Amino acid sequence: MRIELLHFEGCPGSTKVLGILENVVVQEGFAAEILAVITDPGDWLDFPGSPTILVNGEDLFPAERRATRATSCRIYATPEGPKNYPTTAMVREALAERLSGKSSADHR
């Protein structure tokens, strides 16, 4: 599994997300390569904001995507309220679903 963390320079949530990804991958024993990619939001037609997690090229949280390009921080709806990063539990669940072949769209 290839995990890309797309973020722009100075994104306050990117360091937190990188730590969460690394911990979840180790704790769950997922076979994954994690790449932190500093990006220019202008390079993406529908960049949903920073940080964005791609797994094998697909957004890990597609329901959180905005309809328009964002050059700002991405906000995630967490159980604790809006944050600029998903929680550890959210990442763990989304990665497990992705590995099982399910998607978050299957649960709507």
Q: What is the pLDDT of residues 42-85, one digit of tens each?
A: 666 667 888 999 999 999 998 655 555 556 788 999 999 999 99
Give the CA-trace dihedral at 35, 40, 46, 48, to 10 degrees. Answer: 60
| Alpha carbon distance, N-terminus to C-terminus of the chain | 25
Domain membership of residue 18 as a residue range: 2-107
Token reading at 80? 């604790």
Q: How confident is the model at residue 107 (pLDDT cuts 50, 70, 90)?
A: very low
Tally of domains within the chain = 1
**CATH number for the domain that contains residue 70:** 3.40.30
Q: What is the pLDDT of residue 45?
A: 64
Token reading at 17? 């997300």
pTM of the entire structure?
A: 0.83
Rounded alpha-carbon distances, angstroms, from residue 49 to 15, 65, 97: 15, 8, 23
Backbone angles phi, psi at 72, to 5 degrees: -130, -175
